[in-house]
Structure 1
Amino acid sequence: MRNKLLFTVLFLVFAYPLFAQTYITNVTIADVEKQKLVPNQTVLITRDLISKIQSGKVKIPEDAVVIDGKGKYLLPGLTDAHVHFFQNGGLYTRPDVINLRSEVPYEKEMKLAHQTMEDKLKRYLQNGITNVIDVGASYSYLKQREAFKNKDNVPSIYMTGPLLTTYEPKAYENLKDEAPFSLVKTVDDGIKMVQEQLPYHPDFIKIWYIVGADGLETEASARKNLPIIKSIIDEAHRNNLKVAVHATERITAQLAVENGCDFLVHSVDDEIVKDDFVQLLKKNKTILCPTLEVFNGYENTLGQKLKISDHELQTADPFQLGTLLDLRHLSDTVLVNKYKAHMNSEKEVARMTKVNTISSENLKKLSDAGVLIATGTDAGNIGTLHASSYLNEVIAMQKSGMSNWKIIQASTINGAKILNKENEFGTVSVGKKANLILLDANPVDTIENLSKIDRVINNGVVFNPESIIEETPLALVQRQLNAYNLRNIEAFLEPYAEDVEIYTYPDKLTGKGKAQMRKNYAAMFEKVPNLHCELLGRIVQGNIVIDKERVQFGKEIVEAVAIYHIENNKIKKVYFVD
């Protein structure tokens, strides 16, 4: 036995150089724990681990992969600590919020969420996010995540089962394995439903602590349901599972933490928290995920006041982004106008302004006091698109007054701490997973630089972010349609070739080159009111996409066909058929 052990050790010692090795040379490392930049470092990655970090001259084997990190910044991979894969982020994903099932049946939306899970995961990785935490899934997603284990081209997935809740929206009743909610009516129910999740191996348990649905005032409702909340927390802890709690009121958050909650997944938004609340979170080492932007996603989408960044237009799922603009042409104008009027009413605008102000002030106060903050988006909700919304969230955190270093900590090491994984990832350290991002610019100077990604390294495998998502003719055409409807000239032109040709079908050339397109379309975007293109039908044949469109120009509505020819991942020719 002793000889066998000795042989194994010797084998590992001599085999070590044979493993695939990657050197990142002359790079500046972000030490997220000490909040300092360490320049001129060489990082050695062996297989999927960081095996050495050193300064000065390094002898590099001839067969090693070498990445020149001069002028670049190496950070741990990011963590999105709050996502939902059962939601797509588009207009039709929450039938309990706005019922559009006559337009898109919810069964179709659920099926689409499963079909596009891999695409969502790849978009996270493309955005430098190497870990995602789904705080409210379903049994079907706990099963599906198994298909992504040990895959290098997707992030690591941590996931709860269905949300345990004392209130279940009717839209989600009787969905069986697809149900994102489990209704808990008694203490015994709470214990039983934790036990029911155990065979699916959730990474933790999630509670949706909703108050007021029973007709009681906030605190009375919270205290009435507290025994159930406590029973769930206690049973989870007995099974060595942490507990996340959705609690947006100060009283629900306080009661949850007092009774053992490990992870608060939203800001308190009904009042400015007092020092005793701050000290309670610090004492209990509770981690807070603020999710500052998610409610704005609903307000801006349903109020038809969307402002989509170039970053989102480029990196989001273009088809889900496109649905956010569908309210301009849906047939149920009474419903659409009702939501638009409500979201833009003086009362609602004042309410959201107050919620945003309180949430931001509370985040600043908690962060300054040393409460652990973890970055999370609540992606999947209407208007909060998977992966691309991360940048909006960190910008909102910065506007709240958090320093860039603290935001970087919240996005890396603190995300690892949620599930006690800080010894596995979250810093650039020897022995930790080689889940890293190489940036072209310093995020300590400007937090937006987190999106300037040169390379993503996941499980030791190096990716060019542009190669993670395969470009398709269909995606190119959808991206330019989205940008058209948002009147964003730069994003509109991005999918086109520099020498693009525009024809009136069949062969009359009416324009050539981006410069001419820019001149024509920029003027139209600036001057034409009520500009909107509705997609009526689409055919994809190889590198050709044919769209049937209904286009509104002010009071005029015309129907046309556009035929897009794609070459070398750009739209090279467009034929318009009147």
Structure 2
Amino acid sequence: MRDSSYYCLFAQFFIVLALNGCTASEQSSISNLKQNKIPLEDIYIIKNVNIIPMTPENKTIKNATVVIKNKKILSINSRISDKASSIIDGRGKWLIPGLIDMHVHNLADVNFSANYPTKGATLFAKTQHFMLLYIANAVTTVFELSARVEHFGQRNEILKGQVIGPRVALAFLIDGGNVSGNVANTPSDGRQTVRIAKAQGYEFIKLYSGLDTETFKAIVDEANKQGMKVVGHIPNAFRGRLREAFIPHFDMVAHAEEYSKQSKDLSDEDARGFATLAKNNGTWLTPTLTTMVWIANQTRSLDGVRNLPSLKYVHPLMQSKWLNSNHYNQETDPKRVARIDDMVNFHLRLVKAFKEAGVPIVAGTDAGVSGVVWGYSLHDELELLVKAGLTTEEALASATRLPATWLKLGDKIGTVEVGKYADLVLLDANPLENIHNTRKISGVFANGRWISKKIIGTMLNDLEKWNNNNKDKFDWKNRSEY
């Protein structure tokens, strides 16, 4: 499936599409921010709001007053001594922490044609257009699982305030075998690759499918020595010997699919056995349920992608890729369709088994896979997690407090508490009553900046127009000409 050599090549393409730096073309995005009047005020006050703090106790605070100052939550239900620059009416609304997607692949500048020294990227787009997809969906932190130097640039643009976007955590991907990218085929090379990643500023290590067993173990051990947590695939070399993969500091498995690959019959017994292994080793799970659902849909037809309401916000080159060069659809056969359907069902049962075993589960989407639209996909994932057996509160925790904890950001984000950064979502309905209500967004605080529903709508409309006006300029089959 996604761990095939074809997928590796495909992933490299979609990960490296077009969005970094404050280029001339991006100046219009910055201008749009000013036109849409999105200032960073000194003090915001939210009045009469219902707070779902997402702390472990998670006691709802009704009709509360929240003061935000210098990008942080200054007070909750305390006396207001400062004059607000902006007052937000929270009557009948619900305040929750900003959402976190723990598995994304963000677009970045790319050169698709023959290279030469000094050439650089040849395909560019507007960073704000891409990051808007997250903010429009209340996703205020993302975990990039195949990070490159261009992603550091994106993050800096956001931090400088030139682009409104999420916080971005960066994982350095290491694979084995005869592939491109960061490759390690011996334990010593694996350790050195980790040390290089640490020196370059990457914060986490992602393991991929082609690693051999001893190199895998060396990478995990070295990452722990360097203070870097590890997430990733269970390498193919461990098939038939899964227990050997669960070594100390293998911190999180990146897909439910990594377990279904290890099962011959996709049985409940296997699901419970996998859960026990993970629990005993302290290994968390990011199921990415929505990805396999989308793959299953595309093995039958592309109508789901073609009719996707959020497709109009996706860059035209990726629209072309998903609709005209979709290998899930082009390489399908009845046996493959049946196998993927069985995996979709097994993944739901796997999540239930992991929940019952007490394994922490965090929400991630593998955003960037065809049909899995950045930002929008996280709401799909939350609904699937509830379908799999999580309560609405557990699903919300999987996209707020728990990922913040795993990312070592629990003192900064993930809950609505005094002293934490104002990464917040104002909802029109209670998500504890229905997880679908996470989609009913009245506005978002991204690093202390308030973006209302009206402004989000205006920016999305502008993005849709840009995509439509430029659609004929992008054809995935002709990408080498760019």
Check whether TM > 0.5. Answer: yes
* Cα pair 2:49 2:62 within 8 Å, conserved: yes
Within 5 Å, which residues of 2 pair with 1:268-347? 268-270=259-261, 271=263, 272=268, 273=270, 275=272, 277-301=274-298, 303-308=300-305, 312-313=309-310, 316-317=313-314, 319=316, 322-323=319-320, 326-327=323-324, 340=329, 342-343=331-332, 345-347=333-335
What is the DSSP-based 3-state SS (H/G/I as helix, E as strand, rest coil) of the residue aligned with 1:233? helix
Cα distance in 2 between the residues matched to 1:341 and 1:63:
57
Cα distance in 2 between the residues matched to 1:421 and 1:474:
32
- Report the alpha carbon displacement of residue 266 of structure 1 after superposing the two structures with TM: 0.9
CA distance 1:385–1:105, shift in 2 (3 Å): farther
Within 5 Å, which residues of 2 pair with 1:418-437? 418-437=406-425
* Cα pair 2:46 2:66 within 8 Å, conserved: yes
Per the alignment, residue 205 of structure 1 pairs with: 205
* Cα pair 2:155 2:167 within 8 Å, conserved: no
**Which protein has greater RCO, CA pairs closer than 8 Å, 6+ apart?**
2
CA distance 1:106–1:431, shift in 2 (3 Å): farther
Per the alignment, residue 40 of structure 1 pairs with: 63
Per the alignment, residue 185 of structure 1 pairs with: 185
Cα distance in 2 between the residues matched to 1:319 and 1:393:
24
Q: 88, 91, 96: which is aligned to 1:67?
A: 88
Per the alignment, residue 79 of structure 1 pairs with: 100
- Report the alpha carbon displacement of residue 116 of structure 1 after superposing the two structures with TM: 4.5
Question: Structure 1, residues 484-524: CA drift from partner, whole Å, max 9, x if none?
Answer: xxxxxxxxxxxxxxxxxxxxxxxxxxxxxxxxxxxxxxxxx
* Cα pair 1:315 1:388 within 8 Å, conserved: no
Q: 143, 153, 156: which is aligned to 2:164?
A: 153
Cα distance in 2 between the residues matched to 1:140 and 1:474:
22
Cα distance in 1 between the residues matched to 2:85 and 2:472:
53
Question: Structure 1, residues 325-376: CA drift from partner, whole Å, max 9, x if none?
Answer: 643xx8xxxxx8x964642x32112101111111111111112332111111
C-alpha RMSD of the superposition:
3.4
Q: Which amino acid aligns with 2:464?
A: A
Per the alignment, residue 235 of structure 1 pairs with: 222
Q: Which amino acid aligns with 1:202?
A: Y
Q: Which amino acid aligns with 2:214?
A: P
Within 5 Å, which residues of 2 pair with 1:357-506? 357-468=345-456, 470=459, 475-476=464-465, 478=467
Cα distance in 2 between the residues matched to 1:150 and 1:480:
29
Q: 16, 19, 22: which is aligned to 2:44?
A: 22
- Report the alpha carbon displacement of residue 303 of structure 1 after superposing the two structures with TM: 4.4
* Cα pair 1:53 1:430 within 8 Å, conserved: yes
Q: Which amino acid aligns with 1:84?
A: H
- Count of aligned residue pairs for this structure pair: 417
Question: Structure 1, residues 106-142: CA drift from partner, whole Å, max 9, x if none?
Answer: 98xx958864444322221121011011011223434
* Cα pair 1:72 1:440 within 8 Å, conserved: yes
What is the DSSP-based 3-state SS (H/G/I as helix, E as strand, rest coil) of the residue aligned with 2:260? coil
What is the DSSP-based 3-state SS (H/G/I as helix, E as strand, rest coil) of the residue aligned with 1:193? helix
Q: Which amino acid aligns with 1:50?
A: I
Query: TM-score of the superposition, structure 2-length normalised?
Result: 0.77
Q: Which amino acid aligns with 2:208?
A: W
CA distance 1:416–1:320, shift in 2 (3 Å): farther
CA distance 1:63–1:424, shift in 2 (3 Å): closer
How much identity, in percent, do the aligned residues show? 26
* Cα pair 2:299 2:337 within 8 Å, conserved: no
CA distance 1:325–1:458, shift in 2 (3 Å): closer
Question: Structure 1, residues 144-187: CA drift from partner, whole Å, max 9, x if none?
Answer: 533333537211111022x2111354xxx3xxxxxxx3121111
Q: Which runs of 5+ in 2 are unaligned?
A: 1-40, 475-482
Cα distance in 1 between the residues matched to 2:440 and 2:453:
10
Q: Which amino acid aligns with 1:459?
A: N
Cα distance in 2 between the residues matched to 1:341 and 1:208:
25
Cα distance in 1 between the residues matched to 2:452 and 2:139:
14
What is the DSSP-based 3-state SS (H/G/I as helix, E as strand, rest coil) of the residue aligned with 1:234? helix
Query: TM-score of the superposition, structure 1-length normalised?
Result: 0.65
- Report the alpha carbon displacement of residue 61 of structure 1 after superposing the two structures with TM: 4.8
- Report the alpha carbon displacement of residue 466 of structure 1 after superposing the two structures with TM: 4.4
CA distance 1:77–1:346, shift in 2 (3 Å): same
- Report the alpha carbon displacement of residue 274 of structure 1 after superposing the two structures with TM: 5.2
- Report the alpha carbon displacement of residue 275 of structure 1 after superposing the two structures with TM: 4.5
Larger of the two Rg values belongs to structure: 1
Residue 261, structure 1, aligned to residue 235, structure 2: no
Q: Which amino acid aligns with 1:204?
A: F
CA distance 1:63–1:144, shift in 2 (3 Å): closer
* Cα pair 1:82 1:378 within 8 Å, conserved: yes
